[in-house]
Structure 1
Amino acid sequence: MKQARSPKKKRKTTVVVDDSGSFAVVDYQIALKPFATGLLIVLVLAFAAHTISLWSGFAYLDVSNIDPINNLRDHKQLWNDLLLQCLTSPLSQPLVQASYLIDVQTGSLKSAAVYHAVNLGAHVVNALLLYYLILRLGKYQEADGRLKLNPYVLAAAGAGIFACHPLACEAVSYISARAALLVTMFYLGSLHLFMTGFTTRDIKLAVTAYLFCYLSLVLAVWSGDQAITAPLAFILLAVILKPSQESYKAWIMDRPFEFFAQLLVAVLIPCVLLLRYIAPVGNGFGLESLDRLPYIATQFKFLVAYYLRCFLLPLGLSLDPPISPANGFSDPLAILGVACTLGIAYLAYRLRNSIVLSFACVLFVLSVLPFIFIVQPELVSDRRIYLSLCALSIFPGFLLASLSTTRTMLAVLLSVLFLGGLTGISNWRNWQWRDGISIWKEALDLNPQSARSRAMNAWALAFGGKFPEGARMAEKEYAGNPYKAVLSVILGTHYGNIDAKKEKEYCKTGLALAQKQHLSPELIWRMRAGLADASVKTGDYKTAVREARKALEVQPNNTLILITLGKAYLGLNNPNAAFVELQKAYVISRQRGLQLPDVIVPMTRAALGCGAEKYQDLAYGMANQARRVFGTIPEIILLQAYAALETGRVNESMAHISLFLSSERPTAECYYLLYGAQKKLGNEKDAATFLRWAKAVDPDIQKKMVLTLKRDIRDKPLFMSEEDKENLDLKGPDIDSKVEKKKKKD
């Protein structure tokens, strides 16, 4: 890249004096051709490194984070909730949720391409914002006579490294890491706007820039907690921008109101931590939360042992690197992390005459402080370092730009090799993020001794389309693996259709562990849902209702939990409450274009149990729909008989019962329906006999099945063959004959 310098446009410091006193500013101009060349280089690197992510699917916790939004029946209500959340809990990332909602409204959960395109676009914007920020700082420093490098080369090199570095892959390829992209976008945007407002001599432009600067700051806060350090970055940037001919005292005293305003904002913004704040799960799924001191020590340890190491040598990137958490500051690597952070902060002071490098040090320190000191469920993830990567990329970019001033061809060759290598590694890392199975397999290959990697690999297999393999691995690991809560969910799901008692046992054990260890809400709601399902199957309906309702607090529109809750209410003989929950599940499934046959049968029974005519007519139609979906299975035949009887189709009901008895032995429900049919036909004696037989088989049959028998008979007698009549010629249950024999003996 050629150095764009025009002899007619020599850069120099310009001092402007107005009525209020001395006001020193530095004028500079940006040449279009080298600017566009650098811009093109950054764009090419960003797309070359991360375009492959567009072909990735949903990975890790993507579906869990997006599905609740996709299941919503009323998106307008969610917009209102997000606006309220912006005021009451600004650090809970409402802007990220809003971006998912926009994706859902423009795309579909069935395709991940929309979500990945948004992430890739945000990364490209961030790379361009960083390019322009480095260029502006470099031109400012050059105009002040303190930079001997080509600022265009410096900006292109620094932003290019950021654009294609493998540490950015998680933020780009992992949909659930979008918070890092958005907070970086608005953080860098606010820095640009602040710099414009602070350095311009146009009052109107300054006011406008400051207003949009604070708006961008608010949007950054709504995207992530790293934004709380932005006002402090404004102040330090303002100090660093001091022209070389000005003293610090004069520089600050000429702008007392601006510095005071930034100081006030820097004090007020961190106060959002006092509001309700639930840290996002991130990569903390299944991890036990650490106490504050061990957590902080662990973050300093990971800073030097993982993040900085991976920046210099971007190999071995993992969700579970082979580095153990620190117990406290007795860990040498934790102490080294503190020393490294303090050293970079001191370097910002020592390099104060170099605006670009000094601010890079400032930005790095400020970007790591939030995730170090704000305790969160996760311990390590590449997305945490995404904003810091902007600062770190400036240093090797500065070295390449310095080399280009003396040995241009060598600098070009090294740049091609270096950036090409980073791009290749990024493509490989993005390919690992194509789904949950591949990313956790890579983590397990890197750290085979990790119990967490083995547990999460089983999780990824189980819920990533290879459930039998995941269940086998979970059973193998369960005895000696400390991450039993994660494995309990897998095994509970595995035994869901095999052994309800084992399902309940695993879910109950896992839930107790998760609550004791303060594990992530994502894990807890899954275990509550499994426990509710097992409780319904084992007849513990009160437990089922309790756990299902708690699970719905996290996943309010999960159709399977709604069905479980509806079945539990049916078991408690509360058909009205059951119908409400089952109708929610039915409506959600229809809105999403899904076929949900599991809801038809319990919803039909709930509608019949309500007793109202409009619900009975609805149940009749749904019973016929169930017949079309499930075919002529005994349960559906009796359901049709039930619905026909309650809607006045007595003869049709008798025909269904006859069909049922042609292949099955009579049940309590069958006897009870025959009782209702005979009563409607006026055969009181036969009706009494059938009722007695029904109660003999199941004493609670009248509580479980509501028969109103209020509708007039609306159908004509049907032709019945001799076989049909023979089917209806019952002799009563075995239990009834035993009772009769006992009476005769007495």
Structure 2
Amino acid sequence: MKKSENNNYSKFNRNFAKCQGEFTNKTKSKSGLINWNYLFPATLAFICYANGLKGDFVHDDIFAIKGNPDVHGETDIWEMFRNDFWSKSISKNTSHKSYRPFTVLSFRLNYMYTGPESLYFHVINVALHVIVTTLFVYTCQNVLHQRERCAVLAGLLFAVHPIHTEAVSGIVGRADILAAAFYLLSFITYSKSIINNNVKHRVIFYISSLVFAAVAMLSKETGVTVLGVAVVYDAMETLKNLRKDGKEKVLSSFVTRFIFTIFFIAILLGFRLWIMDGSLPTFTRADNPASFEESVLTRGFTYGYLMALNIWLLVAPINMCYDWQHDSVPLVESLADPRNLATFTAAVMTFYIFMSSLLHYGKKHHYALSVSLVLTVVPFVPASNIFFPVGFVLAERVLYIPSMGFCLFVTLGFFRIFDILRCYRTHVTTIMLCLLLLLSLKTWQQNRVWQTRETLFRSGIRALPHNAKVHYNYANFLKDSREYENAVYHYKEALRLESDYASAHNNLGTLLGDISEAESHFREALRLQPNHQSAHINLGNLLFKRGLKKEGIGYLYKAVEIEFRNPDALVSMGGCLMETGNYTQAENYFQSAIEVSPDCYEGYASYAVLLSKTGRHEESALYYKKAYELDSSQSATLVNAAHAYRTIGDIREAEVLLKQAIDTRRDVSAMEELAVLYYSSGRTRESLALYDDIEKQNGNSTETVVRHAKIVANQGDLERADEMLSKVLLNNHNDIDVLKTLAQVKGQLKKHQQAYELLSKVITLTKNAERRNDLEQLYIERGNNYRDIKMYDKALSDYEAVLRINPHHSTAHGNCGTIHHINAVMQEPSGSIEKARYHYHKAIELDPHNDIIRDNIARLERLQYQRDIGVG
């Protein structure tokens, strides 16, 4: 029986060694020695995240990378070291106080050498995860002195654990990975400073450890905890050596290292406080609701449950979410809450492991358990709310470093069970392999969640439907996708769950068609959050459009005051000032917007409009072209640039740009602008061909038809122009331009009755629209039609109507003179000659070079002479 058991044991060992890729052997290849102990976990780490490499920039990536001038190299390198993670000056009150310059530097180098594509950012993240996995295996094997199989299994668990997906697949998670890499390097070099017999080497290793710890902290704040782990590890090693050797030198070395390490920690923390200008980050209740509770018991119960929940996510990463803020975890407000049982269970288990390790400290297994506990607990302390409140309820990414200790703990448990259940080792191994497979599949699936904004935000709705933040984020995505109806629904759902959500009020207001309702949401956002910059911008723009220009500009000024580096605030302010005619100040704001954000499309486009308004058309064209380079989907900027070139007479460049716009996207506005250009430069046939193409594309807007009809009419094809305009009039009964153009065509076709009927309607509409400047010409045109059909009284009435509007209208005076002249010839009313003479002389005073009027005056005088002779 015993022999059979030994045979089974030997057979199992052979099979296990084969499963783990012959971990205990070094196999020679053509390229040298390959240590499978490191290669197998590293390879699995890469495979598990390979399907996430093509993911887009999502969530915080957009602000921390795509919209970060520090990453794009637009700021000085030293300025980058004075800014926070989001490119705000870390000393400002509005800063988030996340100081991670080495992570930002890695993004900057990434951007510099690989460009803005997300693929390469993902590649670096996965590569760093592979490096961390390798360093972790090395640490377990060579620093913590675990068996090779134990180190490899711990590395495999770490490589595939789904809790890491936020850190690896979310690009901003690089802060955690980078910190973990330097964390392990610091821990490894610290351990070498303990065991190395050469004093010089010992000092070098120790200083290296401190440098790596500093870099870890500058990659992410939690990196500094490695020195706490190192001190505890040093104490454990010192105690072990004292029991073995009992040398005073061992204790003396420990005390020296301890004092220097504590002093260095104080320096790092002092520097951190100094760089923040002595101010701590400020959070809102939505960031971490428990920290804003007055009840000590509620805070204590909730903090305890959150710790238990973090442990549960390490044990069973099933329901995962990218954002656990707001009320994603309801407060634990009483002792009767059943969730306290989870807290109690986690506390008892942790206490048991700690006491067991302490009581059996001399045993190798319990020593390793102690180390795994330290590696889990110490890195988590900054996120535990114990010493200071943090800006989140729960964050999966912060478990990246603590998960090392957890993976080692699970591995130690596995081998403990493996040693105890000798008869069931095959089953135990099978269970562990199945666990690795399940974790790998979960990680593979979770990577898909981080592929796009849509997949990420949809996953949040599924995971935490009671969380207002996930509805708000999904609504933002829907808004950007122009699914406005669905976006409104999710903004309202966010407000149903959390009525004091200022940003939801603000964003909902931007989608509402009811101006008064939108205004109420903007004002509510400002009541809840007085320094909400976007709400200031939106309310300012709304009030300005409503005619409350002074009040609107006041809100925009406040928005700029809150954060000057916001291009939206600067562009909005500049736009409103431009509308009020304050071009100089508007130009300053547009230039500032471009300066703080060189990739700000709106800044270039708005500045181009201003330059066009001020007659600087060549500069305007250049800025329109720059705007197009930033957003090639906006072909209107090329059209506007072409219009600017046409204005300054550069027809060739205008034509090139318009053809480029048409080639890029068969844009009707570009085609029409080119048609107008052709017509104005005498290329009528090409112009009409383009208009025919527009008509074939069903791209005919009302304005396009009117312009086309005018060209057709000018070419003499009045019947076609009549047909075109009559057709478009069917759906545009009250369009003034259509009515007026059609009336002109009807007049040319001698259809005077239809012409004056159309013009009568136009005059009525123009009066209602208060377009007084157009009335003069309309009365003239209708009067001409009345005159042509010999309805002289009505013609005269229209000409006199013009003079009531503008007494100095030379054409109206001339036409009045003509009607009176005709009446005089017909011997109709008495005094017609005097009236005709009066109007003719007024007309000649206003237009001295009008030969027709002079001829009419001469004829009138002859008529007067003949009348005088006849009377005499």
Q: Same fold (TM over 0.5)?
A: yes
Shift of 1:513: 2.1
Distance across 2 between alignment mates of 1:151 and 1:130: 14
Relative to structure 1, is the Cα distance of residues 557 and 664 closer, same or farther in structure 2, using a 3 angstrom cutoff? Answer: farther
Distance across 2 between alignment mates of 1:282 and 1:152: 48
Distance across 2 between alignment mates of 1:105 and 1:626: 22
Distance across 2 between alignment mates of 1:639 and 1:414: 73
Shift of 1:416: 1.6
- Higher relative contact order at CA 8 Å, sep ≥6: structure 1 or structure 2? 1
Question: Secondary structure at 2:510's aligned position in 1?
Answer: helix
Distance across 2 between alignment mates of 1:347 and 1:64: 47
Shift of 1:336: 6.0
Partner of 1:6: none
Shift of 1:537: 3.1
Shift of 1:539: 4.5
User: If the length of structure 2 is used for normalisation, what is the TM-score?
Assistant: 0.60
Distance across 2 between alignment mates of 1:160 and 1:282: 39
1:605 to 2:603 alignment = no
Distance across 1 between alignment mates of 2:346 and 2:225: 20
Answer whether contact 1:165 1:426 (CA < 8 A) is retained.
yes
Distance across 2 between alignment mates of 1:637 and 1:137: 69
Letter of the 2:44 partner, please give it.
L
Partner of 1:311: 314
Shift of 1:512: 2.8
Of 446, 451, 465, 1:448 maps to 465
Answer whether contact 2:183 2:213 (CA < 8 A) is retained.
yes
Shift of 1:313: 1.9
Distance across 1 between alignment mates of 2:477 and 2:115: 22
Of 301, 304, 308, 2:305 maps to 301
Relative to structure 1, is the Cα distance of residues 96 and 342 closer, same or farther in structure 2, using a 3 angstrom cutoff? Answer: farther
Distance across 1 between alignment mates of 2:25 and 2:266: 39
Shift of 1:466: 4.3
1:505 to 2:520 alignment = yes
1:618 to 2:619 alignment = yes
Distance across 2 between alignment mates of 1:608 and 1:617: 12
Partner of 1:151: 147
1:563 to 2:571 alignment = yes
Partner of 1:371: 383
* 1:121-142 deviation digits (Å, cap 9, x = unpaired): 2222221121111112343xxx
Distance across 2 between alignment mates of 1:61 and 1:219: 22
Partner of 1:692: none
Question: Secondary structure at 1:380's aligned position in 2?
Answer: coil
Answer whether contact 1:42 1:128 (CA < 8 A) is retained.
yes
Distance across 1 between alignment mates of 2:194 and 2:166: 35
Partner of 1:119: 125
Aligned ranges for residues 375-394 of structure 1 at < 5 Å? Answer: 375-394=389-408
Partner of 1:82: 80
Question: Secondary structure at 1:429's aligned position in 2?
Answer: helix
Letter of the 1:195 partner, please give it.
S
Distance across 1 between alignment mates of 2:225 and 2:625: 62
* 1:659-693 deviation digits (Å, cap 9, x = unpaired): 99x9988xxxxxxxxxxxxxxxxxxxxxxxxxxxx
Partner of 2:845: none
* 1:78-118 deviation digits (Å, cap 9, x = unpaired): 42212235997785222222233223323444x32122222
1:101 to 2:108 alignment = yes
Relative to structure 1, is the Cα distance of residues 248 and 175 closer, same or farther in structure 2, using a 3 angstrom cutoff? Answer: farther
Aligned ranges for residues 326-725 of structure 1 at < 5 Å? Answer: 326-327=332-333, 332=340, 346=355, 349-350=358-359, 352-353=361-362, 354=364, 355-373=367-385, 374-404=388-418, 406=422, 409-463=426-480, 466-475=483-492, 478=495, 481-482=498-499, 484-495=501-512, 498=513, 502-515=517-530, 524-540=532-548, 559-571=567-579, 573-583=581-591, 585=593, 592=599, 596=601, 599-600=604-605, 602-605=607-610, 609=614, 618-619=619-620, 630=636
Aligned ranges for residues 37-52 of structure 1 at < 5 Å? Answer: 37-52=36-51
Distance across 2 between alignment mates of 1:66 and 1:474: 26
Answer whether contact 2:103 2:219 (CA < 8 A) is retained.
yes
Relative to structure 1, is the Cα distance of residues 554 and 77 closer, same or farther in structure 2, using a 3 angstrom cutoff? Answer: farther
Distance across 2 between alignment mates of 1:549 and 1:135: 61
Distance across 1 between alignment mates of 2:642 and 2:76: 41
Deviates more, 1:529-538 or 1:362-371: 529-538
Deviates more, 1:564-573 or 1:414-423: 564-573
User: If the length of structure 1 is used for normalisation, what is the TM-score?
Assistant: 0.70
Unaligned ranges ≥5, structure 2: 1-11, 15-23, 28-32, 92-96, 629-633, 650-676, 682-706, 711-734, 738-769, 772-779, 785-797, 809-872
Letter of the 2:45 partner, please give it.
A
Distance across 2 between alignment mates of 1:435 and 1:575: 42
Answer whether contact 1:608 1:619 (CA < 8 A) is retained.
no
Letter of the 1:113 partner, please give it.
L
Relative to structure 1, is the Cα distance of residues 41 and 415 closer, same or farther in structure 2, using a 3 angstrom cutoff? Answer: farther
Answer whether contact 1:91 1:221 (CA < 8 A) is retained.
no
Unaligned ranges ≥5, structure 1: 4-29, 140-149, 516-520, 645-651, 666-696, 699-721, 742-746
* 1:178-200 deviation digits (Å, cap 9, x = unpaired): 22222222222211111111211
Distance across 2 between alignment mates of 1:624 and 1:82: 30
Answer whether contact 2:125 2:169 (CA < 8 A) is retained.
yes
Relative to structure 1, is the Cα distance of residues 259 and 446 closer, same or farther in structure 2, using a 3 angstrom cutoff? Answer: closer
Answer whether contact 2:37 2:152 (CA < 8 A) is retained.
yes
Question: Secondary structure at 1:51's aligned position in 2?
Answer: helix
Shift of 1:606: 5.2
Question: Secondary structure at 2:432's aligned position in 1?
Answer: helix
Distance across 2 between alignment mates of 1:216 and 1:227: 9
Letter of the 1:600 partner, please give it.
A
* 1:375-402 deviation digits (Å, cap 9, x = unpaired): 2221112112111111111111112334
Relative to structure 1, is the Cα distance of residues 467 and 220 closer, same or farther in structure 2, using a 3 angstrom cutoff? Answer: farther
Distance across 2 between alignment mates of 1:51 and 1:301: 34
Shift of 1:343: 5.4
Relative to structure 1, is the Cα distance of residues 601 and 308 closer, same or farther in structure 2, using a 3 angstrom cutoff? Answer: closer
Shift of 1:481: 4.4
* 1:243-275 deviation digits (Å, cap 9, x = unpaired): 351459763235432232123234444445644
Deviates more, 1:351-360 or 1:167-176: 351-360
1:323 to 2:329 alignment = yes
Answer whether contact 1:536 1:567 (CA < 8 A) is retained.
no
Distance across 1 between alignment mates of 2:563 and 2:596: 13
Answer whether contact 1:167 1:314 (CA < 8 A) is retained.
yes
Aligned ranges for residues 151-170 of structure 1 at < 5 Å? Answer: 151-170=147-166
* 1:565-619 deviation digits (Å, cap 9, x = unpaired): 2213324543223213324556788x65x8x47843554425755xxx9x57534
Question: Secondary structure at 1:494's aligned position in 2?
Answer: coil
Distance across 2 between alignment mates of 1:642 and 1:664: 27
Answer whether contact 2:290 2:302 (CA < 8 A) is retained.
no
Partner of 2:244: 245
Distance across 2 between alignment mates of 1:533 and 1:340: 58
Shift of 1:439: 2.9
Question: Secondary structure at 1:58's aligned position in 2?
Answer: coil
Shift of 1:218: 1.1
Distance across 1 between alignment mates of 2:803 and 2:637: 32
Aligned residues: 616
Answer whether contact 2:620 2:641 (CA < 8 A) is retained.
no
Letter of the 1:432 partner, please give it.
V
